Every structure is written in structure tokens, then in C-alpha cells.
Amino acid sequence: MTTFVPEASTADIGVYGLGVMGANLARNLARNGYATAVFNRTPARTDRLIREHGGEAAFVPSSALEDFVASLRAPRVAIIMVQAGPATDAVMEQLAALMDEGDIIVDCGNSLFTDTIRREKWAAERGLHFVGAGVSGGEEGALWGPSIMPGGTPASYERLGPMFEAISATYDGVPCCTYIGANGAGHFVKMVHNGIEYADMQVIAEAYTLLREGLGATPAQIADIFAAWNQGELNSYLIEITAEVLRQVDASTGAPLVDLIVDAASQKGTGKWTVQTALDLAVPVTAIGEATFARGASSGSAQRAAGQGLDGNTAPLVIETDEARAAFVEDVRRALFASKIVAYSQGFDEIGAGAAEYGWDIDKGALARIWRAGCIIRAAFLDDITRAYEADPALPLLLAAEPFATRFEECAPALRRIVSQAALAGVPIPVFASSLAYFDQIRATRLPAALIQAQRDFFGSHTYRRVDREGIFHTLWAEPGRPEEQWG
Ligand code: 6PG
């Protein structure tokens, strides 16, 4: 193994942690002309990166952490790319011990935003900048151009921003990286991005199961449908890869690969965080919630085993004529699009609520702009979201803004047909169904929540407000005649 001892102050930026994501990010930085210091706790990884890719560009490898830090030009910028959690804290402590005031530590992992807020405070107390940067795009994105969502001090963005903008994906020549806000803002929006990703994936899966049940179509035939959809308003990375996945045939059996994969969806936790945080902020993110719970339901093997054989009293979906089949496919497409609008609208609501709670000035239009390329949820659709927030940065509800309001109204009949057909046929489509329920809730002039308030007042004196008078009221339910009192 080679021992790397670099010259001091020769690197523009450094990457600590050379797993696939870290190595690819380092290669991207180096390819873009930044002398990139690289270090890994296990030296074999540094060795491998230099052996396999050292000829690509200017790397500054180190075998010792002290040398890695010394190799960085002041103010130093060190990116941490290790497993999110305690490892990030451990690496921060090591780096901080060797750094000077004004140096910048950047965490590009999928860290929980509250950890990032805590770490930023910890770093600031030591005179250091801490940047929590969301990075999306998977391994290929890290190498060729991810979408980057950095949070932290504006001063740290001055030093880091140009490098991140240079290595990020571009859309119409615009970099998919922008300053998001103080401390945890970058990781917060990345968390919601991932929550939306869960919903996006689930609605695609729901469309797939409906097409399979309703048409009796093969995965390859459904791949063709997704490929056709990818030419229109649903155009997105996730629809594109779905067509590829559905076409994949298992080499050993000749069966569609998707039929051989265990139907239990895993998760690393970012969707769960999005839902937990939404509950704390009292924001309904039903599409993300149902998508996250659907992964849980698929993985609940004891419950699924116990539920096998229960009679659903269902009538199979039978769609016979070519005309009816074509209409069904179009209904499914519209149901998917409408549910996608709900997922994004709710995700942006959560971002607004998070910004208000944590004091971040998040520009939602700019955020949608940097999600147009590079990231996993990249889609043609994000261009419209960008324009909607540019037209009105204080938009209270994305779903009610154009072009989404009109498109949703146009798709709503299809969504209603699909949700009812699926219910009768016993095909589980939790995000489609909850998206319709959400739409009907927010457009309703009056909700049965009035009854909930009365029930709460009955058993717990929790009070209610009246539609006809100002004030807080309580009915004395246990007293004869049940008189009403005004409490405030
Ligand atoms: C991205 C992805 C990335 C990762 C997810 C997968 O934006 O590049 O979201 O962050 O693939 O963490 O998440 P789950 O394992 O929870 O599905």
C-alpha cells in the first residue's frame, strides 16, 4: 500500500470518506479543476481511488488525517461523506481538533436536520463553519452532477458555493445548487425531497399494479406504457427508470426480474423523518405518509402472513374492449399525475412550515429550480412548480395554483373512477385514495371537524369556537338543559 504524504496547502477542497458517494463526489470535484484532497479511515480505499482514477485529475491523497487537513488551503473546506449518525460526530471532532477559525466542515450525508442544527451550533462555538448539504442523484449523480442543497452561514456559501455550483447538474444552463438557509435548512429540504421521492415511487407502483390487474398486462407491456407516459407531462427520471426496470428479464429463469424480487420495500429512514417532522409541524403530508406506511405494510411479514386468505369480497377488474382498455390506461395516468400534484403540494407545505418554525428564509421557487435536474425526483413538472413560486413566493397551496389547479380538476374524474374501481377490486392504492380524500378535504366548504370539536368538548371540556360569534365556548354537557358558557 502506498503511503501518501501531500504538500501543505495545495488542495482547494477535501473529501473525508471514500465510499462510492464520497469517491464519486471527489472525482467530480477533481474533474472540474479543483485540486481535491482525499482521505479515508481505511487507507485501502484511498489507495484504490488513486490507483483507479488518479490519472483523471488533480487529487491530493493523504494517508494521515493530519496531512489531509494540512493539505487544504485556508480557509479549509472538508467534506464529510460517511454514514449519517454517530460517525459524522466522530469525524467532526477529529477535524475540528486540527482546524483553525473560519474553516468549513461540510456534511453531504443524509443527516437528520436537527442533528445538523446541533452540529452547526457546536462548530460555531469553536469558530468553525458547518454546512449541512443535501446531495441527491445517487452514485451517478455524485459523479456527473447532483442536485445540491447546502445550508449554513452565507459566508461559508461564498467559499463553497462556486465549487458546488460547478459540479452540480445543470438545467437550461442553470446550476442545480443554491444556498438554502441557515444551519439545518439544507438537510431539511433534502429530507422532504426524499419524502416526495417515496410518494413518487409509490404512485408509480400503484399505477403499475392497477395496469397489471386491470389489463392483465406483462411487465414488458407496462414498460411500454410508462415509456409512452415519459414523453408527456409525467416525464421524469423515476418514470424513465421504471420502464427500464419492468423490461428487465432475469438471466437465469427468463422471468421478468420484478416478479422475482421479494415484495418487501426497505427504507433508510428519510421518509420516516419527513412524516415524523410533518406531524410535529402539524402539516398533513398524507401522500408521503401513506407511501412510507405502504413500505412498512409490505415489510410487515407477520401481519401479512396472518392476513393471507382473508376474503376481500372483491370483484375482479375486467376491462375487455380495446377502447375501454385505452380509457383505463389514461385514467390511471391521470390518477398518477393528480396524486403526484398532491405529494409535491404537501411536501412544499412542509418546507414552508419548517422554514417558519426554524426561521429559515427558503425560496421555494429556487428550490424547485434546483430539483429540475440531477436529483432523483427530477421531472418536467418541476419547471411549472418553479414558475408558480416565482409568480407568488407566498403561495398558500401549490395544488390551487395554475397550472396545477386546472390539471387537477381535469384529472379528478379519472382519480375518482380509479379509486372506486380499485376499492371494488381490492387493489391497494393508498396514495391514490388518500390523495383524493385530501383534495376533497381542502376543497370542502365545511368539514365534520365541527363534530370532533363537540366530542372533545363533551368528554374533556376542550372548548370550541362558533361560526356566528367570536370567543371560546364550552357546553355544560352534564347539566340539565346543557347550557353554554363563554370561556374567552
Ligand atoms: C437521493 C436519494 C438517496 C438515497 C435514499 C434512498 O436523493 O439521491 O434519495 O438519498 O437513494 O436515501 O432512501 P431509502 O433507502 O430510504 O429508500
- 1.20.5.320, 3.40.50.300, 3.40.50.170, 1.10.3470.10: which CATH number matches 448-487? 1.20.5.320
Coarse DSSP helix, strand, coil percentages of the chain, rounded to the nearest 5 percent: 55, 10, 35
Helix/strand/coil for 445:
coil
129 annotated binding-site participant: no
Give the per-residue pLDDT at 1: 80
Rounded CA separation 44/54 (Å): 14
> Does the Cβ of 138 fall within 6 Å of ligand 1?
yes
Torsion sign (Cα): 231, 234, 237, 242: negative
Query: Which atom in ligand 1 lies closest to the alpha carbon of residue 269?
Result: 16
Under CATH, which number does the domain 13-179 receive?
3.40.50.720
Residue located via cell numbers 374524474? 413
To test the pocket of ligand 1, the residue of 108, 110, 272 to mutate (highest count of ligand atoms within 8 Å of its CB) is 110
Provide CATH 1.20.5.320 ranges for the chain: 448-487
Provide CATH 3.40.50.720 ranges for the chain: 13-179
Give the per-residue pLDDT at 288: 98
Give the per-residue pLDDT at 58: 87
* Alpha-helix runs per DSSP H in 71-112: 86-98
Q: Cα(135) to centroid of ligand 1, in Å?
A: 10
Q: What are phi and psi of 256, to 5 degrees?
A: -60, 135
Rounded CA separation 436/36 (Å): 50
Rounded CA separation 430/446 (Å): 24
Give the per-residue pLDDT at 389: 97
What string of pLDDT tens digits covers the 488 residues of the chain? 899 999 999 999 999 999 999 999 999 999 999 999 999 999 999 999 999 999 999 899 999 999 999 999 999 999 999 998 999 999 999 999 999 999 999 999 999 999 999 999 999 999 999 999 999 999 999 999 999 999 999 999 999 999 999 999 999 999 999 999 999 999 999 999 999 999 999 999 999 999 999 999 999 999 999 999 999 999 999 999 999 999 999 999 999 999 999 999 999 999 999 999 999 999 999 999 999 999 999 999 999 999 999 999 999 998 999 999 999 999 999 999 999 999 999 999 999 999 999 999 999 999 999 999 999 999 989 999 999 999 999 999 999 999 999 999 999 999 999 999 999 999 999 999 999 999 999 999 999 999 999 999 999 999 999 999 999 999 999 999 999 999 99
> Does the Cβ of 137 fall within 6 Å of ligand 1?
yes
190-443, CATH topology level: N-(1-d-carboxylethyl)-l-norvaline Dehydrogenase; domain 2 (1.10.1040)
Provide CATH 1.10.1040.10 ranges for the chain: 190-443
- One-letter amino acid identity for 72? L
The pTM for the full model equals: 0.97
Query: Which atom in ligand 1 lies closest to the alpha carbon of residue 197?
Result: 9
